[in-house]
Amino acid sequence: MNDKLLVAQALATYLDGALSVDDITNLLETPKKSALGDLAFPAFSLAKTLRQAPNQIAADLAEKISPENFEKVVAMGPYLNFFLDKSATVSAVLAEILRDGENYTTQAQNGENIAIDMSSPNIAKPFSIGHLRSTVIGDSLAKIYQKIGYNPIKINHLGDWGKQFGMLIVAYKKYGDEVAIRKNPIAELLKLYVQINTESADDPTIDIEAREWFLKLENGDTEALELWQWFRDESLVEFDRIYTELGVVFDSMNGEAFYNDKMDEIVAILDEKGLLTESNGATVVELEGFENPALIKKSDGATLYITRDLSAALYRKRTYKFAKSLYVVGNEQSGHFKQLKAVLKKMGYDWADDIFHVPFGLVTKDGKKLSTRKGNVILLEPTIDEAVKRAQAQIEAKNPDLANKAAVAHAVGVGAIKFYDLKNERLNGYDFNLEEMVSFEGETGPYVQYAHARIQSILRKADFKPENAITGSLIVTDDESWAIIKLLQAFDNVVARAARTFEPSAIAKYAINLAQAFNKYYAHTRILDDNDEKNARLALAYATGVVLKESLRLLGVDAPVEM
Ligand code: ARG
């Protein structure tokens, strides 16, 4: 059981309902120095109810509480400090992990859906590092929420509609080469797109033509639709290859175009509620406290990004009856999501409060902003290949006889990229440094994977079986193992915090700490020596392995058993 809960439950029985177990759990603090105990309860919080001085309350409680589960319970000024009974704690934690394995701290299904808008690249354009961040963060949040009982629904809101398709069709009709596009769709389509945009700077007719084509597209013109469908299909083949490499799957691929026949309804509801006004021929919703109104329809009747997002929000609420709805999208779109929520609120939808924009920061390369036009780009597929190659080289040097090198190198290379992204707090951008990412040293994915693989090798040597170990003694006494136990015990708090703050980084940092704690233990201790504590030491190694693997899984990173 988690240490806070243990203390809170013990304390609650002495408080006659003055504070609930939950209240106490939230109040408990961790003392700065472990010599001051494992957890401290601030008695200030009872002073009002009990009409007593905090110091007195702490002293009285220290007297009353039976130290059954604790080594001791001591009043220190206005605090009541709990020292966990180490051997009882060690045995309890190890037994729980030996019993539950990877289901350690997994919560039962709560029947609630969480919609996660993630990845959402734009058709006919390259899959950017921003889309990679969205994919990796979204996928991790899905796994984290699943662990705490939710049913995640991963939605790829493809950018497959908009005026840019008008541009693309004009470009294709002017100088498109079908064969070249079939061979290398995204690169060729991007070329067309860049070329036509450059040209339109000098030639205003292009813009007019593009608008016309887009309007044709919106009105269901066959030629326009066929071209659009073709560009979309070709792009998806390329995106699918990336998703396969990353091991990410979606529950819905409904992109922007999916809402084409659903926007009339949104406009009608807005109209009925009297929220629409006209501004320079365009239809808008005025928003108090915003610089600009929400633009719902342009003067030529074309719909906009936010119109489609309004439809999508309503569709998701109806279809999934979500308890929460997340949008994992770069921080530069925060204005858009504020508007989206504000409009939904004005429409009277209270569930707008369950919508969360989960923003993230920018990735740089060599300290510079990425820019397709300036040639400072990171192309995803060659980058993944390079990461796998680097991983392979290191494995070749460390463990040349490894059986399935290619598969392990793939797990390490891809895992390295994901882990590096996720260990940063979302809003902090980072510099894309492949060498650092794939290093086996430092705060990296491979470092954590390596600690996990090392543990598996120890367990193989000992022919370890959790079901046998659980019947033996589970007491270890050294300080290094106590540090590990405290971390293992904190796992469910870390997962809960990662979920609450939409921060997979909490889990990545935790995994690094746990791997470091284990490596320290391993350096000090002969785990396989035959003596009284051998069973418990192996159980500790096993438990660490389970939690490292589960942490990596929550980040979407594989944990090879050997590397
Ligand atoms: N396609 C957009 C982009 O690349 C992201 C879409 C995010 N999702 C949404 N529902 N707006 O910028």
- Atom of ligand 1 at shortest range from CA of 312: 10
For the Cβ of 138 lying below 6 angstroms from any atom of ligand 1, the answer is no
- Atom of ligand 1 at shortest range from CA of 337: 11
- Checking if the pLDDT of 410 tops 90, the result is yes
Q: Can you tell me the mean pLDDT for 58-73?
A: 88
For the Cβ of 329 lying below 6 angstroms from any atom of ligand 1, the answer is yes
Looking at the predicted complex, does its ipTM rise above 0.85? yes
Nearest CA to ligand 1 atom 1: 159
Q: How far apart are CA 467 and CA 469, in angstroms?
A: 6
Nearest CA to ligand 1 atom 9: 157
Which positions ≥6 away from 85 have C-beta within 8 Å?
Answer: 67, 69, 70, 71
For the Cβ of 122 lying below 6 angstroms from any atom of ligand 1, the answer is yes
pLDDT of residue 75: 95
For the Cβ of 94 lying below 6 angstroms from any atom of ligand 1, the answer is no
Of residues 157, 555, 511, the one with CA closest to residue 357: 157
pLDDT category of residue 372 using cuts at 50, 70 and 90: low
The CATH number given to 3-84 is: 3.30.1360.70
Helix-, strand-, coil-residue percentages of the chain, each rounded to 5: 60, 10, 30
For the Cβ of 120 lying below 6 angstroms from any atom of ligand 1, the answer is yes
In sequence order, what are the beta bridge partners of 364?
Answer: 369, 431
Mutate to test the pocket of ligand 1, among 153, 161, 304, 329 (most ligand atoms within 8 A of CB): 329
| Residues 380-554, CATH architecture | Orthogonal Bundle (1.10)
Residue spans per domain, the chain: 3-84, 162-248, 380-554
pLDDT of residue 162: 85
- The number of residues in the chain equals 563
DSSP sequence for 32-74: SSGGG-SEEEETHHHHHHHTS-HHHHHHHHHHHS--TTEEEEE
Nearest CA to ligand 1 atom 11: 309
pLDDT of residue 69: 74
Mutate to test the pocket of ligand 1, among 250, 333, 339, 355 (most ligand atoms within 8 A of CB): 333
In sequence order, what are the beta bridge partners of 369?
Answer: 364
pLDDT of residue 124: 83
Give 138 Cα–ligand 1 centroid separation in angstroms: 13
- Checking if the pLDDT of 301 tops 90, the result is no
pLDDT digits (tens, 9 = 90+) for 114-133: 999 999 999 988 888 999 99
For the Cβ of 309 lying below 6 angstroms from any atom of ligand 1, the answer is yes
For the Cβ of 37 lying below 6 angstroms from any atom of ligand 1, the answer is no
pLDDT digits (tens, 9 = 90+) for 553-563: 999 999 999 99
